[in-house]
A = this chain, B = another copy of it.
Amino acid sequence: MVSPDITLETVREAHERIAGFIHRTPLMRSRSLNALMSADVVFKCENLQRAGVFKARGAFNAVYSLTDAEATRGVVTSSSGNQAAALSLAASSRGIPAYIAMPKGALKSKVNAVRRYGGNIVWVESRGAVPTSEEYEATAARIQDETRANPVHPYNDRRTIAGQGTCALEIIDERKNLDFVLAPVGGGGLLAGVSLVFKALGANTRVIGCEPEMADDACRSFRAGNIVPQRDPRTIADGLRTSLGDLTFSLISHNVDDIVTVSEEAIIGAMRLIWETLKILIEPSSAVAVAAALERKIPVSGKTVAIILSGGNVDLDNLPWRANQ
């Protein structure tokens, strides 16, 4: 097992580094959601983060960790979604190029976000409808060869993980003695960073990863004690279809108390409930953690809980409920 070498101090340094660039997102509360969950719940609104997603934290941390000499060569990542937009934004903030290996089938809204933030899209050549990891990596490697750009992995990267963990520092700063903190888990960057911080600063807080039943590799890996790759994930939670990496798996194994799974129906219901009660847009990946509390997958009754709403990037032309004139 790899040793991730990331400490609370690493996360604190990341927070100082990115503080001037990211939003300190609000904690929201709702009496009616408290009643539904029989708990005292705060929602950390990373959907209101820059680029609409917590990934801005890791992306800004990675970009501003580069030396000036490194930075001039730009950054490169593979992503069909949020990482693509977040890294483009961070790179444009520093005035350096971002190269994004994207699948040709990426949603138009995601492609537009990358272009708006000035990212350079390189289409991934693939035999199937969706590129394999190998095809993504081949494209990213080719970009690196050509540009000498610095690779920034969406989750399996110390700078990324430390950046995502800064979210937990802000929660703890405002709410002490939480019984539970819930975060969605896809590649595991957010959960790894958050669990590291809570184990260092909030030893009595149980850290729970929340995952779709239809993409439960993190849950199975956690229980097996080794990485079990994702098989054909068909969840609506498009941000959670990836498998854990070795760094994120190692941190999650050490610091997370449990990983629970929820159904697709519960995800969609939780997403709509948050829209209707908090009046904010969350994407399906964020709704996974809300669903875990609503469905009592975690014994939250009578407890204090923080739920991380990871992002708000949704395709308004393709909502998972009947919605038309």
Q: Is the CB of A319 within 8 A of B323?
A: yes
**Contact flag A322-B312 (CB < 8 Å), given A52-B279, A279-B280, A281-B279:** no
Q: Give the CA-CA distance A26 to B324 in the complex, in Å.
A: 30
* Residues of chain B contacted by A320 (CB below 8 angstroms): 325
A317 within 8 A of B: yes
A232 within 8 A of B: no
From 270 to 325 in chain A, residues with beta carbon under 8 angstroms from any chain B beta carbon are 272, 275-276, 278-281, 312, 316-325
Q: Is the CB of B279 within 8 A of A316?
A: no
A32 within 8 A of B: yes
Q: Give the CA-CA distance A158 to B321 in the complex, in Å.
A: 42
Q: Count chain B CB atoms within 10 A of each CB in A317, A318, A323, A325 and give the residue with the most.
A: A323
How many whole Å from A82's CB to the nearest CB in chain B?
Answer: 13
* Chain A count of residues within 8 A CB distance of the other chain: 25
A47 within 8 A of B: yes
From 240 to 288 in chain A, residues with beta carbon under 8 angstroms from any chain B beta carbon are 272, 275-276, 278-281
* Residues of chain B contacted by A325 (CB below 8 angstroms): 318-320
How many whole Å from A29's CB to the nearest CB in chain B?
Answer: 10
Q: Give the CA-CA distance A316 to B321 in the complex, in Å.
A: 8
Q: Which of B26, B116, B278, B312 touches A26 (beta carbons < 8 Å)? A: B26
A171 within 8 A of B: no
A48 within 8 A of B: yes
- Ordered by A's residue number, 15 sampled pairs between the chains whose C-beta atoms are within 8 Å are A26-B26, A28-B48, A32-B116, A47-B279, A272-B316, A276-B316, A280-B280, A280-B281, A316-B319, A317-B321, A317-B322, A318-B323, A318-B325, A319-B324, A322-B324
Rank and list the top 7 A-B pairs by shortest CB-CB distance, nearest first. A279-B312, A323-B323, A279-B281, A319-B323, A47-B279, A324-B324, A280-B280
User: Interface of A with B (CB < 8 Å)?
Assistant: 26, 28, 32, 47-48, 52, 116, 272, 275-276, 278-281, 312, 316-325
